[in-house]
Amino acid sequence: MAIYGAQAEQSGDGRKAVSLRDLKARKERGEKIVMLTCYDASFSQLLDSCGVDVLLIGDSLGMVLQGHTSTLAVSMDQVVYHTECVARPKPKAWIVADMPFASYQESPAQAYANAARLMAAGAQMVKLEGAGWLAPTVKFLSERGIPVCAHLGLTPQSVHALGGYRVQGRDPTSAEQLIADAKLLEANGADMVLVELIPTPLGQQLTRALTVPTIGIGAGPHLTGQVLVLHDILDITPGRKARFAKNYLSGAGSIQAAISRYVAEVRSGAYPGPEHGFES
Residues labelled catalytic: 196
**Nearest distance in Å: CB 17, ligand KIV:** 22
By CB under 6 A, residue 118 contacts ligand KIV: no
Q: Of 60, 103, 124, 137, which lies in the binding site for ligand KIV, with binding defined by CB under 6 A? A: 60
CA distance 155 to 149: 13
CA distance 152 to 198: 9
Of 18 and 192, CB closest to ligand KIV: 192
By CB under 6 A, residue 137 contacts ligand KIV: no
By CB under 6 A, residue 58 contacts ligand KIV: yes
- The gap between the terminal CA atoms of the chain, to the nearest Å, is 56
By CB under 6 A, residue 229 contacts ligand KIV: yes
Q: Of 227, 233, 234, 258, which lies in the binding site for ligand KIV, with binding defined by CB under 6 A? A: 227
DSSP state of 10: B
Q: Of 37, 78, 83, 188, which lies in the binding site for ligand KIV, with binding defined by CB under 6 A? A: 37
CA distance 277 to 280: 9
β-bridge partners, 193? 150, 214
What are the phi and psi torsion angles at 258 (to 5°)? -65, -45
The helix (H) or strand (E) run that includes residue 36 is: strand 33-37
Residue partners of 168: CB distance under 8 A and separation at least 6? 153, 154, 162, 174, 178, 196, 197, 198
By CB under 6 A, residue 111 contacts ligand KIV: no
Of 19 and 70, CB closest to ligand KIV: 70
Residue partners of 147: CB distance under 8 A and separation at least 6? 20, 124, 125, 126, 191, 192
Q: Of 59, 181, 186, 265, which lies in the binding site for ligand KIV, with binding defined by CB under 6 A? A: 59
By CB under 6 A, residue 245 contacts ligand KIV: no
Closest residue to ligand KIV: CB criterion: 58
By CB under 6 A, residue 83 contacts ligand KIV: no
Residue of 152, 168, 214 lying closest to 27 (CA atoms): 214
Q: Of 40, 48, 53, 98, which lies in the binding site for ligand KIV, with binding defined by CB under 6 A? A: 98
| Sites for ligand KIV among residues 171-210 (CB under 6 A) | 194, 196
* Number of residues in the chain: 280
Task: Kindly report whether the peptide bond that precedes residue 272 is cis, defined as omega within 30 degrees of 0.
Answer: yes
Stretch that binds ligand KIV, among 56-64, 88-96, 112-120, 268-276 (CB under 6 A): 56-64
Of 59 and 191, CB closest to ligand KIV: 59
Give residues in contact with ligand KIV (CB under 6 A).
Answer: 37, 56, 58-60, 98, 194, 196, 217, 227, 229
